[in-house]
């Protein structure tokens, strides 16, 4: 096949080559493939084809890949025909010698065979000489493939040794297995152990593997609360907000990478609140962020507020308490005292299913059995003495969020109505406005029954009562306002409202009256069905809150009669009408 292809190429011109489709590509591919073959004969065939092909492309610059091929005709038989002819002549001479000799004994046969071997060696030498004279000189350093010598009869100790070495070399080459050189850099990837390295990796968008690795470990490192956290928290927050996770994530895993980024931000806000909240509030109205990043910031703040509100902190009972209580005291004021008999369990809150809202929390705990008393059940404890319960040596402190509520809410409420470059919450960015109001509602709800709720509620109600917000054309924003108003009613304890009215603080009463009148207006005229349902629920909360506040006022009037303080006119009317029904609530 190689000889046929070579002879055809010798008779082909450049024009014929160009007109023939895919011949050039096929020839080049075959030559390059065969040049890498360990077989010497195959490489000689490829070199011959390459030489003929180069003469067609550029006759002045022929390509000699084999030193044995020079100017002149190419041997397309590659020495195989001459070798076979030599074998045939040897066989003829041997047969003639056998005819002249009389085969009588084994000795004579052995002599004839030896004589035949000698003649065969002579014929091979003559054939090789003829071949060298006609074509080329044999290179003594040339490696001969053993496959071409299968038809030759080996004799002599020297030839046996040479051929044995060549056989071993060829077999060793064929047994070589390639190494696994795949690009496995898993052991070279840097493992992050410091937040500074995580921040640096997130700032390299041209290294997606490093960004992905940093996102994988960011939350764990932050939750570990290292000493460097306070110093790098602000920088890490800014880097996490600005990093383009979708560009660094693998296709199809964008949501997973985004979730890791948000979890890392939540961890920062929970473990290092003040530094992280200050940095993230400055980014909220930054003109360099887009809508998706602002929504992500608000979602992160919402999740962090809820996590802080549900955080439990263990404190020792024998811990000495300060004479003057502080706002950051872990024990809330409304929890019952932990004093009790030895072995008493911890207080647990009991949910009240009678009403949807109750400002009075119910708590219960297990008391130790009296002396000689047994507990009914499937099992019975023998003996009257109870062992020491180590669980009673500690107290649980709930809701760490009120301490950070002002840092979460106040900066976010400032400047929401200002139109900046890329920021228009009252216009096209109404989704961000709705998310902002929802986040503020969750924050005020997380301060329920705490003094911080009474301090932050007036500012929130002023924001909600602005005409641009409460009468927004988008139903999504109006729903968020109703949600935040309901959360405000839930957060304010009736005793706080009664105290404010007794002290002459009308700011809270005006805000609560606005909630009532605006909820009535929404229930009567808003076309959105969900807004109507939320407004009705808000009115029910307002009615129950008014009732509880009036009872608190009645209980304090007996002790404060000399001040002659009564309810404001708006709250003293006593009736809140619900549209669409004949029922009314006592105010």
pLDDT digits (tens, 9 = 90+) for 53-74: 888 888 787 777 776 666 566 7
Give me the percent of the chain exceeding a pLDDT of 70.
Answer: 61
The fraction of the chain above a pLDDT of 90, given in percent, is: 29
437 pLDDT tier (thresholds 50, 70, 90) = very high
Confidence class for position 360, pLDDT limits 50, 70, 90: low
More confident residue, 508 or 433: 433
- Token code pair at residue 16: 């014929």
Mean pLDDT computed over 109-130 = 47
Q: Would you say residue 47 lies in a domain?
A: yes
Query: Average pLDDT, stretch 270-292?
Result: 93
The label of the residue with tokens 């404001």 reads 568
Average pLDDT estimate for 335-350: 71
> Is 412 within the bounds of a domain?
no
Residue 48 structure tokens: 């011959």
User: For residue 388, what pLDDT is reported?
Assistant: 43
Residue 101 has pLDDT above 80, yes or no: no
Quote the tokens at residue 264.
Answer: 């890392």
Nearest to 193 by CA among 222, 236, 169: 222
Give the number of domains in the chain.
1
Q: Cα(77)–Cα(48) distance, rounded to whole angstroms?
A: 11
Lowest mean pLDDT among 208-212, 297-301, 502-506: 502-506
> What are the helix (H) ranges across 285-327?
291-309
**What's the pLDDT at 192?**
81
pLDDT band at residue 465 using 50, 70 and 90 as cut-offs: very high
pLDDT of residue 582: 40
Q: Tell me what pLDDT residue 297 has.
A: 96
Helix ranges, 337-493 (H): 405-413, 430-446, 451-464, 467-470, 475-491
Lowest pLDDT segment from 248-252, 390-394, 516-520: 390-394
116 Cβ neighbours under 8 A, 6+ residues apart: 90, 93, 94, 97, 98
Helices 506-525 & 494-502, crossing angle to 10 degrees?
120
Contact 6, 49 (CB under 8 A): yes
Which H or E run contains 398? strand 394-398
**pLDDT per residue as tens digits for the range 528-564:** 999 999 999 999 999 988 888 888 887 776 555 544 4
* Contact assessment for residue 79 and residue 131, using Cβ atoms and an 8 Å cutoff: yes
What is the C-alpha separation between 197 and 214, in angstroms, rounded?
8
Residue 243 φ/ψ, nearest 5 degrees: -65, 140
Pairing of strands 362-364, 348-350: antiparallel
Average confidence score pLDDT of the chain: 74
pLDDT of residue 232: 93
Q: Are 565 and 502 in contact (CB under 8 A)?
A: yes
| Residue 12 CA to its chain's centroid (Å) | 61
CA dihedral 472, 477, 483, 485 (to 10 degrees): -30
pLDDT at 96 over 70: no
pLDDT value for 67: 66
pLDDT at position 236 is 94
Mean pLDDT of 242-255: 73
Torsion of CA 455, 461, 463, 465, to 10 degrees: -160
CA atoms within 13 A on the CB side of 17: 19
CB 232 within 8 A of CB 196: yes
**Is 253 part of a structural domain of the chain?**
no
Comparing 138 with 205, the larger pLDDT belongs to: 205
- On whether the pTM is more than 0.85, the answer is no
Q: What is the dihedral of CA 103, 105, 108, 112, to 10 degrees?
A: 50
Q: Which residue has the higher pLDDT, 467 or 359?
A: 467
Which is more confident, 20 or 440? 440
Higher pLDDT, 117 or 196: 196
Q: Round to whole Å and give the CA distance between 441 and 453.
A: 11
Range of lowest pLDDT (35-49, 134-148, 220-234): 134-148
pLDDT of residue 496: 84
Rounded distance between C-alpha atoms, residue 290 and residue 103, angstroms: 107
Q: What's the whole-number mean pLDDT along residues 202-224? A: 89
**Distance from C-alpha of 45 to C-alpha of 2, rounded to nearest angstrom:** 7
Assess if residue 53 is contained within a domain.
yes
**Residue 32: inside a domain, yes or no?**
yes
575-577 and 394-398 strand pairing: unpaired
Model confidence at 573, pLDDT cuts 50, 70, 90, reads very low
- Across 397-408, b (16+ Cβ under 10 Å) vs e yields bebbbbbbbbbb
Mean pLDDT in residue range 194-206: 89
Per-residue model confidence (pLDDT) at position 178:
62
Three-state secondary-structure class, residue 427 = coil
Give a yes or no: residue 27 inside a domain. Answer: yes
- Residues 72-79 have a mean pLDDT of 71
Distance CA 539, CA 529 (A): 16
Range of the domain at 34: 2-57
Long-range contacts at 558-562 (CB < 8 A, ≥ 24 apart): 560/502
Predicted pLDDT of residue 113: 41
Give whichever of 40-54, 89-103, 368-382 has the largest mean pLDDT.
40-54
* Residue 35 pLDDT: 78
Q: Which of 76-85, 193-202, 310-319 has the highest mean pLDDT?
A: 193-202
Q: Is residue 18 part of a domain?
A: yes
What pLDDT is stored for residue 64 in this prediction?
74
At 449 the pLDDT is 85
- The verdict on residue 45 lying in a domain is yes
User: pLDDT tens digit string along 143-167?
Assistant: 665 555 555 544 454 555 555 555 5
Give the torsion through C-alpha atoms of 260, 265, 269, 270, to 10 deg. 10
Cβ-proximal residues to 406 (8 Å cutoff; 6+ apart), any chain = 452, 455, 456
């Amino acid at each position: 096949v190689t000889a046929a292809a070579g002879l055809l190429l010798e008779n082909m011109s450049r024009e014929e080559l160009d007109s023939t489709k895919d011949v050039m590509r096929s020839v080049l591919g075959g030559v390059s493939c065969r040049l890498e073959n360990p077989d010497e004969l195959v490489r000689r065939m490829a070199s011959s084809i390459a030489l003929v092909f180069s003469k067609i492309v550029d006759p002045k610059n022929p390509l000699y890949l084999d030193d044995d091929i020079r100017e002149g005709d190419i041997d397309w038989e590659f020495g195989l025909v001459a070798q076979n002819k030599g074998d045939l002549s040897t066989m003829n001479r041997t047969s003639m010698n056998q005819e002249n000799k009389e085969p009588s004994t084994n000795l004579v046969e052995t002599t004839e065979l030896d004589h035949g071997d000698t003649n065969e060696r002579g014929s091979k030498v003559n054939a090789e000489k003829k071949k060298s004279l006609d074509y080329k000189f044999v290179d003594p350093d040339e490696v001969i493939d053993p496959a071409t010598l299968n038809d030759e009869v080996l004799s002599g100790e020297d030839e046996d040794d040479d051929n044995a070495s060549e056989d071993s070399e060829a077999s060793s080459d064929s047994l070589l297995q390639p190494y696994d050189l795949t690009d496995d850099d898993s052991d070279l990837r840097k493992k992050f152990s410091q937040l500074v390295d995580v921040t640096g990796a997130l700032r390299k968008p041209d290294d997606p593997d490093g960004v992905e690795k940093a996102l994988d470990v960011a939350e764990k490192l932050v939750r570990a609360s290292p000493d460097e956290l306070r110093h790098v928290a602000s920088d890490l927050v800014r880097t996490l907000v600005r990093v383009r996770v979708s560009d660094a994530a693998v296709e199809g895993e964008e949501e997973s990478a985004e979730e890791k980024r948000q979890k890392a931000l939540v961890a920062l806000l929970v473990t290092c609140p003040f530094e992280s909240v200050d940095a993230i509030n400055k980014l909220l109205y930054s003109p360099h962020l887009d809508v998706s990043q602002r929504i992500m910031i608000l979602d992160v703040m919402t999740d962090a507020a809820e996590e802080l509100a549900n955080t439990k902190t263990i404190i020792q009972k024998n811990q000495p308490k300060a004479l003057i209580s502080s706002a950051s005291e872990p024990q809330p004021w409304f929890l019952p005292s932990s004093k009790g008999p030895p072995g008493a369990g911890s207080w647990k809150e009991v949910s009240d299913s009678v009403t949807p809202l109750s400002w009075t929390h119910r708590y219960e705990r297990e008391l130790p059995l009296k002396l000689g008393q047994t507990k009914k059940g499937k099992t019975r404890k023998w003996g009257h003495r109870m062992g020491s319960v180590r669980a009673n040596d500690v107290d649980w402190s709930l809701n760490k969020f009120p301490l950070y509520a002002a840092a979460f809410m106040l900066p976010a409420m400032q400047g929401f109505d200002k139109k900046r470059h890329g920021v228009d919450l009252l216009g096209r960015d109404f989704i961000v406005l709705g998310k902002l109001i929802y986040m503020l509602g969750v924050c005020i709800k997380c301060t329920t029954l705490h003094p911080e709720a009474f301090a932050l509620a007036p500012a929130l109600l002023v924001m909600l009562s602005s005409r641009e917000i409460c009468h927004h054309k988008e139903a999504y924003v109006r729903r968020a306002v109703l949600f935040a108003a309901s959360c405000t009613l839930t957060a304010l304890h009736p005793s706080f409202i009664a105290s404010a009215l007794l002290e002459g603080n009308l700011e809270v009463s005006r805000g609560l009256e606005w909630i009532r009148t605006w909820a009535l207006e929404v229930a009567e005229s808003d076309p959105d069905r969900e807004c109507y349902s939320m407004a009705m629920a808000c009115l029910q909360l307002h009615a129950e809150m008014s009732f509880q506040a009036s009872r608190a006022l009645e209980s304090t009037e007996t002790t404060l009669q000399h001040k002659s303080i009564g309810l404001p006119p708006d709250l003293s009317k006593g009736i809140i009408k619900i549209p669409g029904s004949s029922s009314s609530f006592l105010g």
